[in-house]
Structure 1
């Protein structure tokens, strides 16, 4: 399993940073070759399911995720969302925490990522690639 964590600061207030990070379809705008489709009706809550389809032409894979914890930020209390990856090719979980920061919001992203066909020998390399990719997504989605 590739395990990684990073923190980002944004000038956005926590409620707005949370909204941008949990509008799942927007992740497709920040991840190359990816489209995100929400399979359950709004609003997002525990049980919401969405799929990130990454493909180049006919070759691709689905990353199916389910929201298993959903607590939006409230006042000084950080918000927390936990996603469980339910796909056949991509497994693991992700946790997104958004709370007050020194100038707006502090975002903490923590993820365990496993690719079914990738041997554990490559977990370090997967972590080294995934961490900056997800950090860039968070930066793009929360650009003030």
Structure 2
């Protein structure tokens, strides 16, 4: 398994940073060849299924993730969401967190443990570097755009 950790400090209120990083469909805008859907469509809650479909044509696969923790920020308190990967190709989990940061800013943390089925652990370093690059770009994009 490859573990990644992404951290950003942004000049946004907690609830706005949360809104941006949990707009699931927008995640696909920052990940090449990926579309993201959510079932049920709104609102997100424990049990919501977020599905990222990546690839082209017959070389596509789904990465279904179930929301197992949904704690939006409230009254200045941190917020956290955990998604458990339920697919046949991509396994692991992801956690997205917002918490107060220095100078009235918001600290955003994205933790992920990812494993690609049938890929030997020898390639975990490649998976880690690739995931950090792709998810880092996606996170930056989510936080920049309202």
- The answer for the alignment partner of 2:28 in structure 1 is 28
- The answer for the alignment partner of 1:74 in structure 2 is 74
Number of aligned pairs?
144
Q: Distance in 2 between matches of 1:141 and 1:6?
A: 13
Q: Distance in 1 between matches of 2:142 and 2:41?
A: 22
Q: Distance in 2 between matches of 1:17 and 1:106?
A: 9
Asked whether 1:107 is paired with 2:108, we answer: yes
Asked whether 1:135 is paired with 2:122, we answer: no
Q: Distance in 1 between matches of 2:137 and 2:10?
A: 13
Root-mean-square deviation (CA, aligned residues, Å) is 1.2
Task: Give the structure-1-normalised TM-score.
Answer: 0.95
Q: Distance in 2 between matches of 1:28 and 1:134?
A: 10
- The answer for the alignment partner of 1:56 in structure 2 is 56
- The answer for the alignment partner of 1:39 in structure 2 is 39
Deviations 1:92-139 (A, max 9, x none): 000011112224211011110000021111112211111121111111
- The answer for the alignment partner of 1:121 in structure 2 is 122
The runs of 4+ residues in structure 1 deviating greater than 4 Å are none
Q: Distance in 1 between matches of 2:105 and 2:46?
A: 26
Q: Distance in 2 between matches of 1:99 and 1:141?
A: 17
Kindly indicate which of the two structures has a greater share of residues assigned to helix. Answer: 2
Deviations 1:59-86 (A, max 9, x none): 1111100000000111331100000000
**Structure 1 unpaired stretches of 5+:** none
**Structure 2 unpaired stretches of 5+:** none
